[in-house]
Structure 1
Amino acid sequence: SPLHRVTQTALQITHAGDLSRRIPYRGPETDEIGQLITAFNQTLSRLENLFHTQQRFVADVGHELRTPLTVIKGNIDLMRRIGGADDESLQSVEVEVERMIRMVGDLLLLAQAEAGKLPLQGHLVALDTLLLEVLQQSQVLAQGKITLRLGEIDQVLVCGDRDRLKQVLINLISNAIKYTQPGGEVVAGVGKADGKARLTIWDNGPGIPADALPHIFERFYRGEKSRTRSVDGKGFGLGLSIAYWIVKHHDGEITVESDEGQGTRFEIWLPLSEGDCSPE
């Protein structure tokens, strides 16, 4: 009977652990058995995608942790050989430890977000004031080597979580500074367009390859050139994934445009406040 064949196929898939298999059915998809098989095959597809995502995630975390751990071990071996601790080795170890702490913190943040345990506040946020604050704090990252300036500025109010929106701006501006060569320029602005709030972060750095653009919001995405590879060999990490999640859960959108050798432009679109959120 059809149900017996469905049961046998399902058991074979379970025992073999092959989530790529699907249950065949030649009958009408609209009858009860057809609907049952369609639902089961859709569940298998979701499980297969989740399994592959988990596999990639574990592999990526392992890759990202291996580099700092290798550096730390190398410095410890060096200090053991010379019979003491030198400042340069200790500083290198400290940098890598801080890098791992940030990564673990980002992982926990993403895990909380995806589990629905990262509630966002709904207060009135002045984006112009917030952007000026982030630009002021980011000057230390530019170190006088990059021109960091304000572009368009307008008074813009949105309902949202100020700390999380600030995290998005810090991530995008620090990335722009990081990937822009000395003598380059990073411009940030805020205004209104098409009835929405628009934040822009633009740089004239090396740009992002076209084949990397669709993937930059993925966790630990690593390209092979230009902006997808930094001087320390790291890829995009988790910062852009977190930024994407925060913007999305503010009912907004984050977009990116880039030309290799010309620079990169990020835009964040958020709903304007309609006066129905509590003041900060």
Structure 2
Amino acid sequence: MRLAEFIFRNMETILAQWEAFACTLLPAAANMKSSALRDHAQQILEAVAKDLSVIQTRDAQLEKSKGRAPVIIDAPETAAQTHAILRARGGFDIKQLAAEYRALRASVLRLWMDHCPSDELDMDDMIRFNEAVDQALAESVSLFSEQVDQARNLFLGMLGHDMRSPLQTIQMTASYLVALNAGDRVASAASRLIRSGARMQSLLDDLCDFNRTKLGLGINIVPASVDLAAVIRDQLDQLRTIHPDRQLDLTVRGKCDGVWDGQRLQQLLGNLVLNAIRYGTPNSPVRVIVTGEEADVCIAVSNSGTAIGPVAMEQLFEPLKRGVDHGEGYDEDSHLGLGLYIVREIAKAHGGEIQVHSENGETVFTVRLPRSR
């Protein structure tokens, strides 16, 4: 008996084995009814059987085995994709989802081999069955991952939003304590709170911005006419307060007015300068040079220190990648590895670009921004 016919004739037996296995996938499967345990299993099996029934040339089969099957544009959601969505919402993890397909593959082939004499088994059916199951698995895993990513990003978005109010309260209370002039011990403790709050705020901002990009929203900017030199001076003054032991030099050349989001560019500069402090030689200055040209403005942030290696250079702007700290006063958990990624996204949002050169003991990050977009 051909495998497609066997599947249709023995659908209930196969579904019963699917259900029996699905109920072992705890804790998600606990208290689930039979219909939920069998979710879309019959439709998946029917799709596999129909695929086996379609005449397929050797060339077409070869292309399909390599994952190059024709993609139907604007096709409705497949049973495997719907199954993945419901499993994700039901609390299953991706290993349990894959295990369902592994068990399905084994049970169908075992039942077929037990039912038919070995000389009546069609090896081509077996190969095409495995390909069809693999296709369904790929569809499920892809959409399951999207559902998990979306749920995680929504959670991070809500977490970031809810953390802002208590953090602002801590910072305002610390500023109030400093203003009281209640003695050196209180002032010192309040200053530590302010510095820690600023670091937490920076981490929170980076996390929220990263979350926006992963949701496909991009970095949000509100452009206005600004003097970039004034914006950068203000940001450097804030950074000098946080890092009084480091020398931060600024050089401005030419006209620096344009249409940008001033706060976003302060964030961009802050991330570049903190990166230079973190990885540069502790006793050397961090140099910021702003150069106004005819069509755009260039911001260069440089530091002395160990050159960036070729491997690190390739993933420099990738999110959640962290180098080895060379600066003093930093621990590995003080940043998320999002700083340079956020810098690149802010530059892109302004229609600009960023480049990096690292050689002969000096590293220079250069951001070029058009005056208007």
TM-score (normalised: structure 2): 0.46
Closer/same/farther in 2, CA of residues 99 and 120 from structure 1, 3 Å limit: closer
Alignment of 1:129-148 (within 5 A): 129-143=230-244, 145-148=245-248
User: 1:97-127 CA deviation, whole Å, 9 max, x = no partner?
Assistant: 8866653443223223444286321211211
Alignment of 1:158-169 (within 5 A): 158-169=258-269
Closer/same/farther in 2, CA of residues 230 and 11 from structure 1, 3 Å limit: farther
User: 1:178-201 CA deviation, whole Å, 9 max, x = no partner?
Assistant: 333332021101113583211111
Closer/same/farther in 2, CA of residues 243 and 229 from structure 1, 3 Å limit: farther
- Which deviates further from its counterpart, 145-154 or 261-270? 145-154
Q: Give the match's secondary structure for 2:332.
A: coil
Q: CA deviation at 1:148?
A: 1.8
Closer/same/farther in 2, CA of residues 169 and 101 from structure 1, 3 Å limit: closer
Alignment of 1:118-197 (within 5 A): 119-143=220-244, 145-193=245-293, 195-197=295-297
Q: Give the match's secondary structure for 1:217.
A: coil
Q: CA deviation at 1:268?
A: 0.7
**Residue in structure 1 matched with residue 363 of structure 2 by the alignment:** 264
Q: Does 1:8 align with 2:108?
A: no
Closer/same/farther in 2, CA of residues 209 and 113 from structure 1, 3 Å limit: same
**Residue in structure 1 matched with residue 63 of structure 2 by the alignment:** 24
- Which deviates further from its counterpart, 154-163 or 186-195? 186-195
Aligned amino acid, residue 130 of structure 1: V
CA distance in 2, matches of 1:203, 1:257: 11
Q: CA deviation at 1:269?
A: 0.9
Aligned amino acid, residue 36 of structure 1: I
User: 1:32-76 CA deviation, whole Å, 9 max, x = no partner?
Assistant: x84539x999x97x949x76x95xx99xx9xxxxxxxxxxxxxxx
**Residue in structure 1 matched with residue 173 of structure 2 by the alignment:** none
Q: CA deviation at 1:236?
A: 5.8
Is the Cα contact below 8 Å between 2:302 and 2:365 reproduced in 1?
Answer: yes
CA distance in 1, matches of 2:353, 2:196: 33
CA distance in 2, matches of 1:98, 1:134: 13
CA distance in 1, matches of 2:307, 2:336: 13
Q: CA deviation at 1:245?
A: 1.3
Is the Cα contact below 8 Å between 1:208 and 1:228 reproduced in 2?
Answer: no
CA distance in 2, matches of 1:240, 1:210: 17
Is the Cα contact below 8 Å between 1:164 and 1:246 reproduced in 2?
Answer: yes
Is the Cα contact below 8 Å between 1:200 and 1:267 reproduced in 2?
Answer: yes
Closer/same/farther in 2, CA of residues 35 and 185 from structure 1, 3 Å limit: same
CA distance in 2, matches of 1:222, 1:237: 5
Closer/same/farther in 2, CA of residues 207 and 271 from structure 1, 3 Å limit: same
User: Structure 2: which 5+ residue stretches go unaligned?
Assistant: 1-46, 53-60, 79-134, 157-185
Aligned amino acid, residue 110 of structure 1: F
CA distance in 2, matches of 1:183, 1:9: 71
Is the Cα contact below 8 Å between 1:207 and 1:227 reproduced in 2?
Answer: no
Q: CA deviation at 1:166?
A: 1.0
User: 1:228-247 CA deviation, whole Å, 9 max, x = no partner?
Assistant: 99841246622222222111
Is the Cα contact below 8 Å between 1:208 and 1:227 reproduced in 2?
Answer: no
Q: Give the match's secondary structure for 1:138.
A: helix
Q: Does 1:217 align with 2:307?
A: no
Q: Name the structure with the higher helix share.
A: 2
Closer/same/farther in 2, CA of residues 174 and 36 from structure 1, 3 Å limit: same
Aligned amino acid, residue 192 of structure 1: G
Q: Give the match's secondary structure for 2:331.
A: coil
* Larger relative contact order (CA 8 Å, sep ≥ 6): 1
In the comparison of the two structures, how many residue pairs are matched? 221
User: 1:237-259 CA deviation, whole Å, 9 max, x = no partner?
Assistant: 22222222111111111121213
Aligned amino acid, residue 306 of structure 2: P
**Residue in structure 2 matched with residue 3 of structure 1 by the alignment:** none
Aligned amino acid, residue 120 of structure 1: I
Alignment RMSD? 4.7
Q: CA deviation at 1:140?
A: 2.5
User: 1:103-162 CA deviation, whole Å, 9 max, x = no partner?
Assistant: 34432232234442863212112112212222222222442x433212342222222211
Is the Cα contact below 8 Å between 1:128 and 1:154 reproduced in 2?
Answer: no
Aligned amino acid, residue 332 of structure 2: G
Q: Give the match's secondary structure for 1:175.
A: helix
**Residue in structure 1 matched with residue 163 of structure 2 by the alignment:** none
Q: CA deviation at 1:23?
A: 8.9
CA distance in 2, matches of 1:167, 1:96: 17
Q: Give the match's secondary structure for 1:163.
A: helix
Aligned amino acid, residue 174 of structure 1: L
Greater Rg by CA: 2
Percent identical residues: 24
Q: Give the match's secondary structure for 1:121.
A: coil
